[in-house]
Amino acid sequence: NTVSNLIFILPPIYGAIQTYKDGLEKRYLAAYLCLTAVGLGSWCFHMTLKYEMQLLDELPMIYSCCVFVYCLYECFKYKNTVNYPLLFLLITYSVVVSIVYLNLKEPVFHQVMYGTLVSIIVLRSVYIVLWVYPWLRGLGYTSLTVFLMGFFLWNVDNIFCDKLRALREKMPPVVGAVTQFHAWWHILTGLGSYLHILLSLYTRTLFLKHRPKVKVSYFVF
| Sequence ranges of the binding site | 46, 182, 186
Residue whose C-alpha is closest to residue 193's, from 3, 11, 23: 11
Q: Cα 189 vs. chain centroid, distance in angstroms?
A: 6
Could you report how far apart the first and last alpha carbons of the chain are, in Å? 16
Contact 60, 34 (CB under 8 A): yes
DSSP 120-188: HHHHHHHHIIIII-GGGHHHHHHHHHHHHHHHHHHHHHHHTHHHHHHHHHTS-HHHHHHT-HHHHHHHH
Q: Which helix (H) or strand (E) holds 52?
A: helix 51-73
How many Cβ atoms from other residues are within 10 Å of residue 138's Cβ? Answer: 11
Q: What burial letters (b/e) apply to 186-212, b meaning 16+ CB within 10 Å?
A: bbbbbbbbbbbbbbbbbbbbbbbeeeb
Which residues fall in the annotated binding site for Zn(2+)?
A: 46, 182, 186
Q: Please enumerate in sequence order all residues whose Cβ is within 8 A of that of 169, keeping only pairs 6 or more positions apart, or say none.
A: 176
